[in-house]
Amino acid sequence: MQDVLDAGLAWARDYDTSRSLVLQLSPMVTMSRWSPLESRWFKLNTDGAISLTNQQAAIGVVFRDADANWICDFSMRMGKDNIFKVEGRAVLEGSHVAWGRGLRQVEVECDNALLVESLLVGGYVNSKMVKLRLIRGILNREWKVRIRHVPRSHGC
């Protein structure tokens, strides 16, 4: 819970100091259905979940090409953790797989609005959550990455 609060506070501090800047940050985009990709782009759908019965967490990742064809997927059990960290781990692991497979134009879709917004506006900078900084580190490599929020009810 503290990590979620830290990310929110970091985002708020960043927002407050960025209002005077001319440079506009990428806005958070909420998608409501499958959005086609340009040629040679790949979609990375991520999700994290926590069991209500035993509090065990797991992540799942699916890659698709521009025509929505399945490329690969994986899932991983994580033990007990909070949902913000679980969703962050899904984005981190999925990004590592994308980079490792040589995918250099990737659109990441995640249903955690706070995580997406934190990554887009720089909330990771002041965060004590290592996963946020690791995600940003891999996203800052020499490739094109777009991050989109997809509400759980619209997961593709």
pLDDT in tens, 52-88: 999 999 999 999 999 999 999 999 999 999 999 999 9
DSSP 69-121: -EEEEEEEEEEE--HHHHHHHHHHHHHHHHHHTT--EEEEEES-HHHHHHHHH
CA distance 70 to 111: 20
- Structure confidence at residue 20 (pLDDT): 30
List domains and CATH numbers for the chain: 2-15+37-154 (3.30.420.10)
pLDDT-based confidence at residue 37 (cuts at 50, 70, 90): confident
Site of tokens 């007990």 = 80
pLDDT at 10: 47
Q: Positive or negative, the Cα torsion across 103, 156, 140, 58?
A: negative
38 burial type by CB count under 10 A (0-12 exposed, 13-18 middle, 19+ buried) = exposed
CA–CA separation, 76 and 79 (whole Å): 10
Which pLDDT score, from 0 to 100, does residue 123 have?
67
Region for residue 79 given its phi and psi (left: phi exceeds 0; alpha: psi -120 to 50; beta: otherwise)? left
pLDDT winner (highest mean) among 34-38, 127-131, 140-144: 140-144
Q: Quick one: pLDDT at residue 75?
A: 96
Provide the mean pLDDT of the chain.
Answer: 80
What letter represents residue 16's amino acid?
Answer: D
Average pLDDT (17-41) is 51
Q: What is the pLDDT of residues 130-152, one digit of tens each?
A: 888 899 899 899 999 999 999 87
What's the rounded Cα separation, in Å, for the pair 51 and 55? 5
The answer, as to whether pTM is greater than 0.85, is: no
More confident residue, 31 or 40: 40
CA 29 to chain centre: 12
Assess contact for 129 and 6: CB atoms under 8 A.
Answer: yes
- Return the closest-CA partner of residue 90 out of 119, 120, 130, 131: 131
Q: Are 56 and 77 in contact (CB under 8 A)?
A: yes
Task: Tell which wins on pLDDT, 121 or 2.
Answer: 121
